[in-house]
A and B are shown apart, each in its own frame.
Chain A
């Protein structure tokens, strides 16, 4: 049977995934829009940086994040000067790590979706008296809707499945930074296969239900996309 600690780990995982996904969408949308529309010469550099987490081992990313978030790191120092404490081994630190780690999974589908919308609908909107911001909200966002679903699902799922980065910067503080994937690892280490089963099965089921739900919804929107 799962213990209270297991539920706590599951709860932290969910909370981390929800908070990270919301932040990812908020940050990823303007970034993806810029990447889809910009003709800047330096776009390739931004694209490469955003895609880095795809190729880097999570431990590399985690190592640098640990340095940056700690009391001597730039982000940690900044945060401390604002009256906070060091970010390493905190939930906030985990959120920062997840957002960076999952960024490409959110930005790329959004960028593709915005590119698929193309210039024409926005030009049409401009001849129908819509200002640039108005066009973005009333035309680009709704037309890119399938991309948002994909981005949210990938961002959420990727955060749930995160292990290496969390281990490096979150440590293993029960009730604070111990997420399900690490709890499972601990159970297996201690040969508690029964409890590992409960948590793993729980994550599996949760992920499946979520994906099925989103794809069912996406099916209904496909009409709009075609």
Chain B
């Protein structure tokens, strides 16, 4: 099952050409700077805005084509707006029941009780929206979007209006959605932190075009895309917790690239985690170094190189099947004889564990 979206979005001076093929599975981030039109794409998919000539195919069903257009209330989506936008005249329970009772019985795949439990809002049910904190409101909004058992969950920067602490409070809930419910999620964000933590796939929305999409690890490291060219370029790795070292307070992680060592984190053995490695923190050597303070060193093959500015080069590496980025100077490239296909060792000075 996949989502095919083709829109020509025009509004005044604004123009966005959308031609995306997205997997209807996992979390797909629509990623791009503010004002790039990410929300417009989401609204077009939900049917809130109509764009002449658009095409939208979600799995087997056609939501928009030349001759057909499903109205928003006929589309099995859940939509989480940037502001919680709760119905102020209804209690939390009333907000959740609103959509739930309008869905035909045979389409109710997700029990309302499990939604309430998943988002931790059972204790809030009798409250009115104006008695909730910002984080609670957003959790209720997410639960409400799930109450209709959507085939597709659309989330428009659901964390944008919240402070860091609240964000950290809600992220685990969104992660659990992803794990516990088999609903594909389209997640609009301009925060690379959120994307790195949540997304499996990434669609790039930038410069009036949204055409490039793919698995996030690949998209982050593609040298022909702006993501790998910016100062924040980074690679994402999946790993599992292998073992804890109580003597040195470290945690060891297994990944396809090799064994990672990070400062001890309270995680259970076998738990899947994500690692984030910035290109500027990766240096290259020709032989494995033993007399270094750097713990995370892996054999890798140079796949591709792209110049960055006048003095630097971004190198795309393959480390045991996982793409990795390194940022080195042109001088080092020349001194070490780095070229495509060269076997090197990548040293990661710093690894961020996302969990």
The answer to whether B85 and A126 touch across the interface, beta carbons within 8 angstroms, is no
Q: Which residues on the B side are within 8 Å of A129 (C-beta)?
A: 73, 99, 102-103, 148
Q: Quick one: which of A127-167 are within 8 Å of B by CB?
A: 127-131, 134, 138-139, 142-143, 145
Q: Smallest Cβ distance from B101 to chain A, in angstroms? A: 9
Judged by a CB distance under 8 angstroms, whether B51 is at the interface is no
Beyond A138-B98, A223-B128, A226-B130, whether A127 also contacts B78 by CB under 8 A is: yes
Of A121, A131, A223, A224, which is within 8 A of B85 by CB? Answer: A121
The answer to whether A131 and B89 touch across the interface, beta carbons within 8 angstroms, is no
Judged by a CB distance under 8 angstroms, whether A217 is at the interface is no
Q: Which residue of A lies closest to B128 (CB)?
A: A223
Q: With A and B bound together, what is the CA distance between A121 and B212 in angstroms?
A: 33
Q: Which residues on the B side are within 8 Å of A127 (C-beta)?
A: 46, 48, 72-73, 75, 77-79, 99, 145, 148
Judged by a CB distance under 8 angstroms, whether A123 is at the interface is yes
Q: Which residues on the B side are within 8 Å of A126 (C-beta)?
A: 47-48, 71-73
Judged by a CB distance under 8 angstroms, whether B87 is at the interface is yes
What 1/0 mask marks residues of chain B from 82 to 115 whose CB sits below 8 Å from any chain A CB? Answer: 0101011100000000110011000000000000
Judged by a CB distance under 8 angstroms, whether B151 is at the interface is no
Interface SS of chain A: helix
Q: Which residue of B lies closest to A224 (CB)?
A: B89
Q: Which residues on the A side are within 8 Å of B147 (C-beta)?
A: 128
Q: Which residues on the B side are within 8 Å of A46 (C-beta)?
A: none
Q: Smallest Cβ distance from B213 to chain A, in angstroms? A: 23
Judged by a CB distance under 8 angstroms, whether A120 is at the interface is yes
The answer to whether A224 and B144 touch across the interface, beta carbons within 8 angstroms, is no
Judged by a CB distance under 8 angstroms, whether B81 is at the interface is yes
Q: Smallest Cβ distance from B110 to chain A, in angstroms? A: 14
The answer to whether B87 and A124 touch across the interface, beta carbons within 8 angstroms, is yes
Q: With A and B bound together, what is the CA distance between A143 and B81 in angstroms?
A: 19
Beyond A130-B73, A131-B73, A138-B98, whether A124 also contacts B89 by CB under 8 A is: no
A-to-B contact residues, CB < 8 Å:
120-121, 123-131, 134, 138-139, 142-143, 145, 223-226
Report, nearest first, the 7 A-B pairs whose CB atoms are least far apart: A128-B99, A127-B79, A129-B102, A126-B72, A142-B89, A126-B73, A120-B85
- 12 CB-based A-B contacts, threshold 8 Å: A121-B88, A126-B47, A126-B71, A127-B79, A128-B144, A129-B73, A130-B98, A139-B89, A145-B89, A224-B88, A224-B89, A225-B88
B-to-A contact residues, CB < 8 Å:
46-48, 71-73, 75, 77-79, 81, 83, 85, 87-89, 98-99, 102-103, 128, 130, 144-145, 147-148
